[in-house]
Amino acid sequence: MRSRHPPLSVPFIAFLGPSGTYAEAACHQLAQAQGLQDHTPRSGLSIQHVLGQLKGNHGGDGSVAAAVVPVENSVQGGVTATLDTLWNLSAPCCPPASPNPYGPQGLEILRGLVLPIRHALLGGARMEDISEVISHPQALGQCSTWLNNHLPQALQLPTTSTAEAARMVKGSRFRGAIASLDAAREQGLKVLAYPINDEPNNCTRFLLVRPVTVPCSTPPSGPPVHGVITSLCFALRQRDRPGALVEALQVFHGQNLNMSRIESRPAKTDLGKYVFFVDVEGHYQTEHFQGALENLYPICEQLLNFGSYPVMTVPPEEL
């Protein structure tokens, strides 16, 4: 009996779809930079679905080698769905006695990309006829002032992605979508206004993530790469003690390491319990970084290391 599914010729890279999203554009850029051009992009229905495909116990079938997800926007801040899913799907970092002490387990970030975001209002009729504007909640927030000034009576409705919003307005005479110019071409929609984002320097940072296949066995080959950042997440062991968070952050100051970002998210286990996401400049295998992690490890209930990776920026003129 023949299988209904043809054998996989190349692995996939998952991204938040459908086709025409900013995540798809980031996927192509990151795949090229990482040398993964032979991998086939495959869209996912949500950020949870995209990252879940990397894990066998969350719907992954082994065909998805990496995933591209947004993690931070310059206007709206952290993408909470990405932060929460990374926390849920990863595992505490390698113990101090392992060959790769404090190294990543579960999921690992390979590369970051800062992508300029230029939103457009798309539709099939006139802008003055629009009574509903739909898009991803982040996009609606990034264009809130423009919408209040130009379409104050229009109802704003969230959807799973900007490209899905473009698909949903196709054929409608009263709906508009906030999406990219690529989505307009994909769906054959009119560009009613462009650009409409409130901040001209609006940009989103995307991450290329892969599963860690052999955690803690051996350290990564080659010397640590300079010009990288390391992403960590931790929950404090004694969170109610005065100065507990300060003590955790001082471990980086004590090793002269610059922390470029910090964000907290509810741990979802108890009211008042939080996890902290931090980005620190430098590679976790350097001597100073290892010293910081050695001091941080004992005061954390959980410590996750998502790896050390370079971040590149796409100039606006290349869009």
Q: Does the pLDDT of residue 82 top 80, yes or no?
A: yes
CB of 273 within 8 A of CB of 239?
yes
Tens digits of per-residue pLDDT, 118-127?
999 999 989 9
Query: What's the pLDDT at 229?
Result: 96
Q: Does the pLDDT of residue 96 top 80, yes or no?
A: yes
Q: What is the C-alpha to C-alpha distance for residues 46 and 31, in angstroms, rounded to an integer?
A: 20
Q: Does the pLDDT of residue 2 top 50, yes or no?
A: no
pLDDT higher at 176 or 216:
176
Paired tokens of 223: 């010397």
What average pLDDT score do residues 13-42 get? 90
Residue corresponding to tokens 């009613």: 192
Paired tokens of 109: 């970030």
Q: Does the pLDDT of residue 3 top 50, yes or no?
A: no
Residue 63 CA to chain centroid, in angstroms? 20
Query: What's the pLDDT at 5?
Result: 39
Query: What's the pLDDT at 60?
Result: 67
Paired tokens of 224: 């640590």
Q: What is the C-alpha to C-alpha distance for residues 91 and 106, in angstroms, rounded to an integer?
A: 5
Q: What is the C-alpha to C-alpha distance for residues 150 and 176, in angstroms, rounded to an integer?
A: 13
Length of the chain: 319
**Class of residue 202 by CB neighbours under 10 A (exposed 0-12, middle 13-18, buried 19+):** buried
Residue 292 CA to chain centroid, in angstroms? 25
Q: Does the pLDDT of residue 6 top 80, yes or no?
A: no
CB of 133 within 8 A of CB of 151?
yes
109: left (phi over 0), alpha (psi -120 to 50) or beta: beta
Helix axes 287-296, 244-254, angle to 10 degrees: 160
For 37, which DSSP code?
Answer: T
Tens digits of per-residue pLDDT, 251-307?
999 999 999 999 999 888 878 788 999 999 999 999 999 999 999 999 999 999 999
Architecture of the domain made up of 12-116+203-312 = 2-Layer Sandwich (3.30)
Beta bridge partners of 196: none
Query: What's the pLDDT at 4?
Result: 38
**CATH 3.40.190.10 location in the chain:** 120-193
CB of 204 within 8 A of CB of 22?
yes
Tens digits of per-residue pLDDT, 224-250?
777 899 999 999 987 667 788 999 999
What average pLDDT score do residues 81-92 get? 94
CB of 231 within 8 A of CB of 279?
yes
pLDDT higher at 211 or 218:
211
Architecture of the domain made up of 120-193 = 3-Layer(aba) Sandwich (3.40)
pLDDT higher at 61 or 213:
213
String of DSSP letters for 38-84: TSEEEEESSHHHHHHTTSGGGT--S-EEEEEEEEEETTTEE-HHHHH
Q: Chain-wide mean pLDDT for the chain?
A: 89
Beta bridge partners of 109: 209
Q: Does the pLDDT of residue 37 top 90, yes or no?
A: no
Paired tokens of 160: 């799973």
**Class of residue 271 by CB neighbours under 10 A (exposed 0-12, middle 13-18, buried 19+):** exposed
Q: What is the C-alpha to C-alpha distance for residues 257 and 58, in angstroms, rounded to an integer?
A: 35
Tens digits of per-residue pLDDT, 133-169?
999 998 999 999 999 999 999 999 999 889 899 999 9
Question: What percentage of residues in the chain have a pLDDT greater than 90?
Answer: 70
Query: What's the pLDDT at 59?
Result: 62
Query: What's the pLDDT at 218?
Result: 72
**CATH 3.30.70.260 location in the chain:** 12-116+203-312
Query: What's the pLDDT at 240?
Result: 65
